[in-house]
């Protein structure tokens, strides 16, 4: 099964991708997590990506497409995968088609803009494994410590209020057109993001049946 999770930053797509990963046993591929890891390790693509990420801008298509292509060619992706945060532009979606990747479904998690800032202020992420948490809805069992790997859980720099506004504007400009792109191909299912993670998961599983 090959799935795409689409949605604004802070819509909960990463959290839902993790839930579906656990149930279906297919890996979730987050380009954001791969890029943050590359920045941490100081690799060539990490160094190139950092200035865009810090500003809340999209990393150039050429960099992200290359990273994604390498990742899904890996053995762990041979039975399927969930793409979380890719594609984010029509050019990326076209590149995926050119790679010959047949997507089964695109789950679009819809959340009103007014709710996004609050959700992003609430979000915390493990700096080692990328697992997502929420101060209100899904705090780690021990404060600041990842339940899965024991890594440090903290707020992402680009989740701070000054960056959130521009990330949302970029989402509407560059990423939201993908809703129509996949609708035309008959792949799109839209789920209204709920307050509680488990309530959204129920809708996501129903949409995947
Ligand atoms: P995310 O964790 O998905 O919110 O991604 C964090 C940041 O990584 C984004 O704000 C972008 O700067 C960059 N990024 C992640 N995925 C992509 C992508 N598919 N295309 C361009 N930039 C990306």
- The model's pLDDT over 13-42, given as tens digits with 9 standing for 90+, comes to 999 999 999 999 999 999 999 999 999 999
Structure tokens at 20: 């579906």
Task: State yes or no: pLDDT of 117 exceeds 90.
Answer: no
Quote the ligand 1 centre to 47 CA distance (angstroms): 14
**Conformational region of residue 155, where left means phi above 0, alpha means psi within -120 to 50, and beta covers everything else:** beta
Q: What local confidence, expressed as pLDDT, does residue 160 receive?
A: 87
Q: Which atom of ligand 1 is nearest to the CA of 68?
A: 19
pLDDT tens-digit series, residues 50-59: 999 988 899 9
pLDDT tens-digit series, residues 146-165: 999 999 999 988 888 888 88
Write the DSSP symbol of residue 177. Answer: H
Helix (H) or strand (E) holding 14: helix 13-24
Q: What is the model's pTM?
A: 0.91
Which residue has the least CA distance to atom 12 on ligand 1?
Answer: 53
Write the DSSP symbol of residue 190. Answer: E
Structure tokens at 187: 């792949």
Structure tokens at 183: 């609708």
If one compares 93 and 114, the residue with the highest pLDDT of the two is 93
């Amino acid at each position: 099964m090959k799935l795409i999770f689409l949605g604004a930053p802070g819509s909960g797509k990463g959290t839902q991708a993790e839930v579906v990963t656990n149930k279906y046993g297919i890996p979730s591929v987050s380009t954001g997590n791969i890029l943050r890891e590359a920045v941490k390790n100081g690799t060539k693509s990490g160094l190139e990506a950092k200035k865009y990420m810090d500003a809340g801008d999209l990393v150039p298509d050429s960099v992200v497409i290359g990273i994604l292509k390498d990742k899904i060619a890996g053995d762990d992706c041979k039975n399927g995968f969930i793409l979380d945060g890719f594609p984010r532009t029509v050019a990326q979606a076209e590149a995926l088609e050119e790679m010959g990747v047949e997507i089964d479904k695109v789950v679009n998690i819809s959340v009103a803009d007014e709710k996004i800032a609050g959700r992003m202020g609430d979000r915390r992420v493990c700096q080692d494994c990328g697992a997502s948490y929420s101060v209100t809805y899904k705090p780690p069992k021990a404060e600041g410590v990842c339940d899965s790997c024991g890594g440090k859980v903290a707020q992402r720099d680009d989740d701070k209020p000054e960056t959130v506004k521009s990330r949302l504007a970029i989402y509407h400009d560059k990423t939201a057109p993908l809703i129509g792109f996949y609708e035309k191909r008959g792949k799109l299912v839209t789920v209204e993001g709920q307050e509680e993670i488990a309530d959204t998961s129920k809708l996501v599983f129903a949409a995947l049946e």
